[in-house]
Structure 1
Amino acid sequence: MSTAQDIPNTPNIPDILSPEFAADPYPVYRALREHKPLLWHEAMQSYVVSRYEDVERVFKDREAAFTTDNYDWQLEPVHGRTILQLSGREHAVRRALVAPAFRGSDLEQKFLPVIERNARELIDTLLDGAAPGTGSGTADLVEGFATRFPVNVIADMLGLDKADHAKFHGWYTSVIAFLGNLTGDPEVAAAGERTRQEFAAYMIPVIQHRREHPGDDLLSALCAAEVDGVRMSDEDIKAFCSLLLAAGGETTDKAIASIFANLLAHPEQLAAVRADRALIDRAFAETLRFTPPVHMIMRQTAKEVTLSGGTVPAGATVTCLIGSANRDGERYADPDTFDIFRTDLTSATAFSAAADHLAFALGRHFCVGALLARAEVSTGVGQLLHALPDMRFEDGYVPVEQGVFTRGPREVRVRYGA
């Protein structure tokens, strides 16, 4: 069995840090799956895996071969120590402390009204740009809705001041830039570490005040939560809120933008969703497969592991290319086609650990906020479809994706009404 380093160089495959890759990663993903399913990337000091079967295996980790120790350097400098870095009983207890807010009655009764209200408020502002008396106009769904909606929802859930939206958005943008700093740019790293200090200075006093004066919000619930005699410290709560803001803001932002970019590019599927809002789940699931918000997730090997194409030594970083795995022709028929009616993707399980796609990861570190994202997307997409009749791209406009670590349309410019 050859090791990854033994695979000959293939000059016609662009580097994943190249401008060509950033412009359109999907042909590169295809070439990697076919020719270099396991690639040692010198600049990233990481093994890169691109096939569905390998990424699924890393995430499910039935062999206890993969850890999240990489988050010690990838997340902790900007968030502090998070639940993603924990394992065993410590991880199980921390997840039990935070998970109830993101599922079942808490999500439906306490936070769904928050989601619905924030969607209405943003759409009302968006419609202020309509031509007077016509009900028609133009809008950028990214700037006017997608980038603001999830951050406002999270701020409301935590009982924070939405007037600080600009701060929250700046912080999570800095954190995402840190996570995607694959070339080790020192300025990006320094900005991420400043964000941790600024967010702590903002949040710790709020957490301490909420312990003394609890309310009916998620932050108060986190302060009071207890499992097996364990409670979260101020630092634990701050780190979780930082993670929630960055992960929940960035991914839902890009998911909503991508759903509309995909549906507007396929008018017959958009018409089907308009006619049957139950299809929003299918559109979201297919968007997570076809254009996932997060294209890369890393793990670290606890022991030597053999994957397609070679062997990875113990203690190595492994970069899982979700954007590639979700377009693997060995797993999906016609993988480069957006099709909300495809039969090889199950929308009923798309937001659970039994998902067919890999956008939320799998296994014990499956995204705790998946059902919150589903609620936000279902509500936001449904309300936008209702409020913006006959929505279509502005004349001559074609959406352009940007990003390497996370990816989505930088704008989605639409015209609506007559």
Structure 2
Amino acid sequence: MTATVPEMPDMMSEEFARDPHKYYKIMRDHYPVVYHEASGYYFLSRFEDVANAYRDSEAFSNENYGFQMEPVIGRTVIQMGGREHVVHRQLVAPTLRGSYLQELIPQVDEIATQMIDEIEPGESVDLVEGFTRWFPINVIVRMLDLPKEDIPRFHDWYSSLMAFLGNLTQDPDIHAWGMRTQKEFPAYMLPLIAERRKNPGDDFISRLFDAEVDGEKYTDEQIKSLVGLLLIAGGETTDKAIASTLKHLLQRPDQLEAVKKDPSLATKALVENLRYHPPVQIILRTAVNDIEVSGTKIPAGSVIGLVNGAANRDERRYPDPDTFDIYRDDIPIKGAFGGSADHIAFALGRHFCVGSLLAKRESETAVTQLLEKFPNIRFADGYEPEDEGMFTRGPKDLLVNLT
């Protein structure tokens, strides 16, 4: 008797949005390459296919960022290739992975402590609105040495950037929101950068003035674009990583108790969350030439969605992939935040997220400090968390009892 092949739903449907992991499995097993007719994109779901696409930057380029991001924030390292990418990555890496990161860590911890101390205990406290949504943007504003009253403005900008980035349906309201940011963000940043050149300090922007590789230095326009990239890569994604890790621990009291007793396990919980439910579910690439993937021919110039959320639960790669397990031994902590990681959450290879170590520290300190401050934390009575988002995904709220 022949088994019936499940129907593949529209990736933009409500049923897909409610439970993408249900359909990710159908994709991996029966439709490893999905062509989405409305957008013209091809989506890859198997670990091997997704990993190969990340690692082969000659066959899969970042040209798509030319329409995904550049119209709003300008050209950045994320869309560069070849020598240009190498030079610009070397320019920014010391500020996000070097000595500056070590200087920043105490400030990250301080910001977390201040924000957590301001949380009012109660029977139904929303940790997304009350903490995770605002913590990463507070860190970024501190890095840029900007007034705290500008935090809501930066949050609006990075929210519009993320929406523009994932505007698969070309929603005109999202496009218009992005175009407003295209005007407002440079009008704010460029005069500020010019002033910092005259009076530099110890902030992220000032440190970029001295960065130089092979005689190349950052222009004001390039610094403005890089700050925009920092907002995208370091804002909503870290927010969702923290909220999702907390959610998954709260759903598993035994693992939650283990992290409370041994805070070093918070890193394991974070890494397992990056595998089990990566905050960035889909990253786009562009096919440089005609190529065949899992038996499907993809024409040159096609935009390809690499579905991290599906690849990270591929049975061909991980045993028992639908189980959240902080004791999993097939993803070593060492290397989990570098280009050779054994999970796909920050991409792989030469375009691996340069800010991953900052995200690691923010997430670790957020989880450990929250559990230390509120050891009796549990879900609010009758509450069931729900995730939202397609390109980035995480809890839309996180109602907890902190009494």
Query: Into which bin does the TM-score normalised by the smaller protein fall?
Result: over 0.9
- Range with bigger deviation, 48-57 or 10-19: 10-19
1:61 pairs with 2:56: yes
1:122 pairs with 2:115: yes
Q: What secondary structure, in the 3-state scheme, does the structure 2 residue paired with 1:297 have?
A: strand
The match for 1:133 is none
| Kept after mapping to 2: 8 A contact 1:114/1:157 | no
| Kept after mapping to 2: 8 A contact 1:36/1:309 | no
Question: Per-residue deviation at 1:306?
Answer: 1.8
Residues of 1 paired with 2:254 and 2:99: CA distance? 35
The match for 2:257 is 271
| Kept after mapping to 1: 8 A contact 2:111/2:135 | yes
| Kept after mapping to 1: 8 A contact 2:123/2:380 | no
Counterpart selection for 1:318 from 300, 304, 323? 304
* TM-score, L = length of structure 2: 0.97
Counterpart selection for 1:77 from 71, 76, 89? 71
Q: Could you list the per-position Cα deviations for residues 174-202 of structure 1 after superposition, in whole angstroms to 9, with x for gaps in the alignment?
A: 11111111111122112112112100001
> Structure 1 residue runs of 4+, over 6 Å off?
none
The match for 1:90 is 84
Question: Per-residue deviation at 1:346?
Answer: 1.6
Counterpart selection for 1:179 from 155, 165, 175? 165
Q: Which runs of 5+ in 2 are unaligned?
A: none
Q: What secondary structure, in the 3-state scheme, does the structure 1 residue paired with 2:301 have?
A: coil
Counterpart AA for 2:252: H
Q: Could you list the per-position Cα deviations for residues 321-377 of structure 1 after superposition, in whole angstroms to 9, with x for gaps in the alignment?
A: 111001111111111111111122222221111111111001111001000000111
Question: Per-residue deviation at 1:125?
Answer: 1.0
Residues of 1 paired with 2:165 and 2:18: CA distance? 19
Residues of 1 paired with 2:393 and 2:336: CA distance? 20
Counterpart AA for 1:78: V
Residues of 1 paired with 2:248 and 2:192: CA distance? 40
Q: What secondary structure, in the 3-state scheme, does the structure 1 residue paired with 2:292 have?
A: strand
Q: Could you list the per-position Cα deviations for residues 214-238 of structure 1 after superposition, in whole angstroms to 9, with x for gaps in the alignment?
A: 0011110012222211111111000
Counterpart AA for 1:231: K
Question: Per-residue deviation at 1:139?
Answer: 2.1
Counterpart selection for 1:357 from 336, 343, 347? 343
Q: What secondary structure, in the 3-state scheme, does the structure 2 residue paired with 1:378 have?
A: helix
| Kept after mapping to 1: 8 A contact 2:260/2:375 | no
1:45 pairs with 2:40: yes
Q: What secondary structure, in the 3-state scheme, does the structure 1 residue paired with 2:239 have?
A: helix
- Map 1:19-418 → 2, pairs under 5 A: 19-61=14-56, 64-108=58-102, 110-126=103-119, 129-130=120-121, 138-417=124-403
Q: What secondary structure, in the 3-state scheme, does the structure 1 residue paired with 2:42 have?
A: strand
| Kept after mapping to 2: 8 A contact 1:54/1:307 | yes
Residues of 2 paired with 1:223 and 1:143: CA distance? 35
| Kept after mapping to 2: 8 A contact 1:59/1:362 | yes
Q: What secondary structure, in the 3-state scheme, does the structure 2 residue paired with 1:319 have?
A: strand
Question: Per-residue deviation at 1:104?
Answer: 3.4
Q: Which runs of 5+ in 1 are unaligned?
A: 1-9, 131-135
Q: Could you list the per-position Cα deviations for residues 76-118 of structure 1 after superposition, in whole angstroms to 9, with x for gaps in the alignment?
A: 011111111111111111111111111232211x200210111
Residues of 1 paired with 2:249 and 2:6: CA distance? 36
Residues of 1 paired with 2:123 and 2:60: CA distance? 51
Q: What secondary structure, in the 3-state scheme, does the structure 2 residue paired with 1:352 have?
A: coil
Q: What secondary structure, in the 3-state scheme, does the structure 2 residue paired with 1:277 have?
A: coil
Residues of 1 paired with 2:126 and 2:333: CA distance? 28
Q: What secondary structure, in the 3-state scheme, does the structure 1 residue paired with 2:383 have?
A: coil
Give the fraction of aligned pairs with identical amino acids, expressed as a percent: 51
Residues of 2 paired with 1:46 and 1:77: CA distance? 20
1:16 pairs with 2:16: no
- Range with bigger deviation, 382-391 or 366-375: 382-391
* TM-score, L = length of structure 1: 0.93
Q: Could you list the per-position Cα deviations for residues 48-99 of structure 1 after superposition, in whole angstroms to 9, with x for gaps in the alignment?
A: 111000000000116x111100110111011111111111111111111111
| Kept after mapping to 1: 8 A contact 2:6/2:26 | no
